[in-house]
Amino acid sequence: MFDLPNAILSVLSIFLPLFFSKSSYMNFLELFQGHILCKGKRTISEILKSLGLKDIKNYSRYHDFFRKAKWSTLKGAEILLLYIVSLVPGEIRISVDSTVERRKGPKIKGLGIQRDAVRSTKSRKVLVPGLNWLVVAIHFKFPWFKQGVALPFLSILMPPETPLSTSKNITDLKRSKRHKTLTKWTCQVAMLLRRWIKHPKKITIIADSAFATYALANTCIDLGITLVSRMRLDARTFEFPEEKPKKGRKKLVGKRLPTFKMILEDPSRIWDTVEILWYGGKKKKMDILTGTCLWVWLWNTTRSD
């Protein structure tokens, strides 16, 4: 029935604990093979056509594989991540980002009005109906390939705070759970990563400026995870307080440091020039300036290197 090579079957066999029956696992293998062979849209009907099963009578069992799924996608993400981690020596680098899947339909779960990052500009904001996904990927490099790759292993649907007025999805209309922001979802991802990947493995999360928040920074510090992100140019940074044996309350911060924008405009600063790998396998020279400071907002204090 299956023409999959033994090399692929040996990898797919690690997901066997997800399924409660042998028939479910066999359906999984069939759908996987059809997903590879399918040339058009990868719907269940098109997958069955690619497998030569378009006239099969009990086709509903393939739809039920997803509609009545009893296997845990979160457990599948853990299995996949730990398998890749076993092949990656040293530091584990994780990328986190949100992406919009453009969809339409009153019965689609989690549908909302989202910002289209591709079409939007600083002066023009484009909104589209779709699903907002939080995608988590692990970085690794093949020995025969110069560039590194990022393999997504976990995707989380982030429903909007209020469903669309045209929504007819029962789950959205009767939602009882509290709405979670992008930062809250990412904090939970960081906690999952540390739960799955034990110490002393070093974890580094790489994200854009949307994830440069105090809540995520504090969560990463508590979990022993390094966070690499892009802060605002007007971020409030301070020196570390002096340690003096004085009575009374200790100072939380030291002297206020110039903003990043002021540093960029300061001609007296001495920058270091480094060469880094860029898109397309090219190398690019960049000027960098490093330092250690305290990043403070109101009563919250986090360390940023």
Per-residue pLDDT, 304 = 45
Least reliable range by pLDDT among 54-58, 96-100, 153-157, 295-299 = 295-299
Site of tokens 């960098």? 288
Q: Which of 76, 98, 115 is closest to 158 using CA atoms?
A: 98
pLDDT exceeds cutoff 90 at 163 = no
Distance CA(83)–CA(293), nearest Å, equals 37
pLDDT tens per residue across span 248-259: 788 888 899 999
- What is the SS3 assignment for 124-156? CCCEEEEEEEEEEEEEECCCCCCCCEEEEEEEE
pLDDT tens per residue across span 64-116: 888 887 788 899 999 999 999 998 888 999 999 999 999 888 989 899 988 88
Q: Could you tell me what percent of the chain has a pLDDT over 90?
A: 42
| Greatest mean pLDDT range, 104-108, 124-128, 184-188, 294-298 | 184-188
Site of tokens 């399918």? 38
pTM: 0.85
Per-residue pLDDT, 188 = 97
Per-residue pLDDT, 2 = 61
Q: Could you tell me what percent of the chain has a pLDDT over 70?
A: 96
